[in-house]
Amino acid sequence: MIIPLAHRADQTQEYYFSVKLAEVRRLQAAGHDIINLGIGNPDLMPSANTIGALIQSAQQPTAHGYQPYKGTVGLRQGIASFYKTTYGVDLNSETEILPLIGSKEGITHISLTFLNENDGVLVPELGYPAYRAVSQMVGAQVSEYPLLEQGGWQPDWEAMTDRVNASPEGSPTKILWLNYPHMPTGAPATYALFEKAVRFAHDHQILICHDNPYSLILNKKKPISLLAVDGAKEVGIELNSLSKSHNMAGWRIGWLASSKPYVDAVLTIKSNVDSGQFKPLMDAAAEALTNSEAWHEERNAVYQGRLDAVHAFLDALGCTYTTDQEGLFIWAKLPDHVESAEAFVDDLLLNKHIFIAPGFIFGPKGNRYVRVSLCMPKERIRTGIERILG
């Protein structure tokens, strides 16, 4: 006998990487040396101070109990100072910050907090798959907004306005998901884009959820936050994370920042779902947030070195790409003769033992693209090139 699943479990597909990485592990278990350029899982270490703070905190007898639902004061203050020094944004550490178990978790809590069944959600036609999956899980109507490749993968605001105006009576468009520096295309963030987004949100009474995990990775100018725009906190929530920028993806530390009413509302939902994180993680995260500019520059210098190797890797595959991308990946177009991206990626995995992400997992517009991660030493990327050319 099998107890029937909820509709949402029937309708939701297992996360692509959850399935594909199991295949990668099977190949590894069979003795194959897989070069994994598929996922954005930083292989570099967190700062030494971060590890030191973790160890020191774990030795305290008071470190092991339940923690406050909205995290420790120290972590929230650390996030507030980080926002001030990194983005020039003032946040009240008591009322405007909510630590999360990674920003991925925040997508679910925000969706549960704001979306009624059939409410509209705008997601980029290429983007982090969880925006769409979670919106669908909570019964919202997902509408994709176009990204204009000619304009550097910027949102098509006119099309977005049409989508919003077409919302059926009683089912308003409630949330707009935005993410710049953009994953997967690497399009940089600009202040002008954020200003436009905030104006759009005010005009149409929509909540902008800006996902900002890549602002410090290979950024060509000072990192920016949506919350730096006047009036952003009235209509916007920003998600941020230590996963990529501080090499702490497995630690599961992120947060959201906004005005008090939104933070309180998400906390109401979240406090019924999970509890405060392990104190040593939060203490160490607060330490990580003090990493110097030099530390970030050193990390970016490593990625810069890998970038050249990834460009050569993509040249070997016959792919084309732009050289102004920011973040942890390079987005590249497949050569015209390739018929199916899925077959191309599978062939690379099975025959050359190299894993890269097919673009379609970020939306159908990605059919003719692949995404290559920088989270691999350049020597391994060069081995990949040899396998392709050899």
Ligand X SMILES: Cc1ncc(COP(=O)(O)O)c(C=O)c1O
Query: Which of 23-31, 98-106, 132-140, 280-288 is the region at the interface with ligand X (rule: CB under 6 A)?
Result: 98-106
Position 102 contacts ligand X (CB under 6 A): yes
Q: In angstroms, how far is the first alpha carbon of the chain from the final one?
A: 52
Q: Which stretch binds ligand X (CB under 6 A): 20-28, 72-80, 97-105, 270-278?
A: 97-105
User: Nearest approach, Cβ of 179 to ligand X (angstroms)?
Assistant: 5
Residue 243 binding ligand X, by CB under 6 A = yes
Find the binder of ligand X among 86, 103, 215, 325 (CB under 6 A): 103
Instruction: Find the shortest distance in angstroms from Cβ 128 to ligand X.
Output: 4
Query: Which residue, 243 or 383, is less far from ligand X as judged by CB?
Result: 243
Q: Does 287 bind ligand X (CB under 6 A)?
A: no
Q: Judged by CB under 6 A, does residue 249 bind ligand X?
A: yes
Could you give phi then psi for residue 375, rounded to 5 degrees?
A: -90, 45
99 binds ligand X (CB under 6 A): no
Whether 87 contacts 253, CB under 8 Å: no
Q: Rule CB under 6 A: is residue 179 a binding residue for ligand X? A: yes
User: Of residues 67, 241, 259, 277, which one binds ligand X by CB under 6 A?
Assistant: 241
Q: Judged by CB under 6 A, does residue 173 bind ligand X?
A: no
Closest residue by beta carbon to ligand X: 102
Using rule CB under 6 A, residue 75 touches ligand X: no
Among 46, 78, 99, 213, binds ligand X (CB under 6 A): 213
By CB under 6 A, tell whether 183 contacts ligand X: yes
User: d(Cα 196, Cα 112) in Å, to the nearest integer?
Assistant: 26
- Binding residues vs ligand X (CB under 6 A): 40, 102-104, 128, 179, 183, 211, 213, 241, 243, 249, 254
